Structure 1
Amino acid sequence: MTTREAGPAAAAQTTTFPAMATRVTLRVADPGPAAGDALAAARAVFARVEAACTRFDPRSPLMRANADRTNWHAVPQECYLAVAEAARAHRETGGLFDPRVLDTLVALGYDRTLPFRSGVTLTGTGPARTVRTPPAASPWLPGLDPDSRSIRLGADRIDLGGIGKGLAVRLAARALAHAGGGHLIEAGGDCHVAGGGPDGDGWRIGVEDPAGGADPVAVLRLADTGCATSSLRVRSWRVDGTTVHHLIDPRTGRSAQGGLLSVTVLDPDPVRAEVWSKSLLIAGRGRIAGLAARRHLPALWVDDSRQVAVSAAMAPYVIWTAPDAT
């Protein structure tokens, strides 16, 4: 988990459950009579998105399409939406977001649905320093047929893990929209908040220390927005004595090495927040400030010396930063 609620508790109805290789928390503040049904519906959203988009089940709609990439496949709505959003994100980010990284992840040993802890040793199928053909060597142009809800993926297998989680948060937020006085959805760094939070002036969201410290490096005050953090804190591991992680730079075919440990982005749409948090981290320390400014993105980032910086658009939301992290 890379974000968390901070602040006193208020009257709320909460459910927590495992999904998509993380713990998901759904909280409705000042719950109304329909809160229980809304929470159940939001939980069901995560189950449907995971079933449709997981790469860890060869029978999933995604993996069936991955196994036969030159033909069209009718898929559930959740899988179609995730692929369509991935294609949009690929265009919007100029290729910094690219889901064609599945074979690289598997080669590095990330072939199981385990919440890796930093420093774990896995066995890859080849040396970690081996450069696979970078996905960005060619544009990704998947086939999308909205009338039949069908997809055709093209030459490379894709991974929808991050964007699928953002999609689940978006759809769960819709399910909770009228459940009470507001809500918090937290799913391993992807979240959405609505309403005034426990104190009525916004939800306090702590940004976890990507270096592994117990205390947050910053606290944000948010209302009615999505928030996503991409971080090296959890899913990094060692292969052949080399530290690698799950955020693959499509320009190199390797784990991103841009000098950033985590990036947090706000956007009303949790999917777009997820896309840009990952894309800015891949862009790296030298480009992130300029890219965030040009895109008017509320962004906060932590570099590999544990220094925190924020874009102009993020500054109004930051209410505290750790003294030794600025």
Structure 2
Amino acid sequence: MTTAPAVARFRALGTTAEVAVTDPARLPAAEAAVTAELAAVDDACSRFRADSEISRLHGRRGTAAPVTPLLAEALGVALRAAELTGGAVDPTVGAALEALGYDGDFEGLDRDQPGPLTPAGPVPGWWRVRLDPLRREVVVPHGIRLDLGATAKALAADRAAERAARSAGCGVLVGLGGDIAVAGQVPPRGWGIRVGDDHARTDPDRDPAIAIHGGGLATSSTTCRFWRRGGRLVHHIVDPRTGLPAAPVWRTVSVAAGTCTDANTAATAAIVLGDTAADWLTGHRLPARLVSRDGRVTTVAGWPDDEREDRPR
């Protein structure tokens, strides 16, 4: 008889954090390690806090500024994501998100905002941010506001899972909304995860369950974080080519990869790429599940075949 993983849940980084362990006695140690790691990431990367390191960095735009090892890593991850996706995932979308009305923590956001929805135009471009990882210095040009939302939460999941596995000495799963990372010992049948359109409310009768044995899984969605601006429904995933929300070709994209960071990068890019996303994911050999606006499911690159390709749901 196997022991079911023990689970703790709490609020962090604007979402529900979940910590699961293979040894219930180690849950407090794992939870403490995850809590500490998430607090450190929030201190470094939150654009909603005036006292965060990235907010202070914006005050030094145009000059070489030293950064902590954590922010240097987070910036490096964001710039790598931009390069690997051809700019589909771009950390210079901060001003565009603010223009859309996403200018504070989502829980406190006005969901019906007045004023016109004004196209911001193409974002400044990730290649303009110059990071020296060895000296841990970065130059953010004038006019650029960084937003690491597409990668920092996934990086936090990866870092937290590794830290918790070392601290607790057992297998650990860390879930942050749609971002999931695992480390350490794996349960005999893998970590069971239910994949749905809304990470806060999964439906056992509709949402498929899969098992992962390492790495990470991420789901990007246009259906969880949305609001109205000038009477128009908008969501939080910006197309860097336009500065507007990505066309809602897919309501969710879920991707499995070697790390949660890579999975999230690919899932976010797929939302932006729209009609070409399935081919792009296939070309990169990334198992993925894409759900269209009308509920049709497409699976690619070895995603578990419990659902036929293009089956309505």
Where does residue 130 of structure 2 map in the other structure? 143
Among 134, 137, 160, which residue is 1:172 paired with? 160
Where does residue 266 of structure 1 map in the other structure? 256
Where does residue 84 of structure 1 map in the other structure? 76
**Contact 1:217/1:325 (CA < 8 Å) preserved in 2?**
no
State how 1:241-252 maps to structure 2 within 5 Å: 241-252=231-242
- Gap change, CA 1:139 and 1:159, over 3 Å in 2: closer
Post-superposition offset of 1:92: 0.7
TM-score with structure 1 setting the length: 0.85
Q: Distance between the aligned counterparts of 2:210 and 2:29, measured in 1?
A: 30
Where does residue 217 of structure 2 map in the other structure? 227
Among 166, 171, 182, which residue is 1:193 paired with? 182
Post-superposition offset of 1:176: 2.6
Where does residue 310 of structure 1 map in the other structure? 299
**Contact 2:254/2:290 (CA < 8 Å) preserved in 1?**
yes
**Contact 1:211/1:261 (CA < 8 Å) preserved in 2?**
no
Q: Which runs of 5+ in 2 are unaligned?
A: none
- Gap change, CA 1:139 and 1:49, over 3 Å in 2: closer
**Contact 1:31/1:181 (CA < 8 Å) preserved in 2?**
no
Q: Distance between the aligned counterparts of 1:305 and 1:39, measured in 2?
A: 39
**Contact 1:249/1:282 (CA < 8 Å) preserved in 2?**
yes
Percentage of pairs with the same residue: 33
- Gap change, CA 1:43 and 1:121, over 3 Å in 2: closer
Q: Does 1:59 align with 2:51?
A: yes
- Gap change, CA 1:217 and 1:16, over 3 Å in 2: closer
Greater relative contact order (Cα < 8 A, sep 6+): 1
**Contact 1:236/1:244 (CA < 8 Å) preserved in 2?**
yes
Question: Cα RMSD over matched residues?
Answer: 2.7
Post-superposition offset of 1:325: 3.8
Q: Which runs of 5+ in 1 are unaligned?
A: 1-8
**Contact 2:13/2:153 (CA < 8 Å) preserved in 1?**
yes
Q: Distance between the aligned counterparts of 1:73 and 1:17, measured in 2?
A: 34
| SS of alignment partner, residue 135 of structure 1 | coil
Q: Distance between the aligned counterparts of 1:41 and 1:121, measured in 2?
A: 34
Post-superposition offset of 1:134: 0.7
Q: Does 1:160 align with 2:148?
A: yes
Q: Distance between the aligned counterparts of 2:149 and 2:14, measured in 1?
A: 9
- Gap change, CA 1:53 and 1:318, over 3 Å in 2: farther
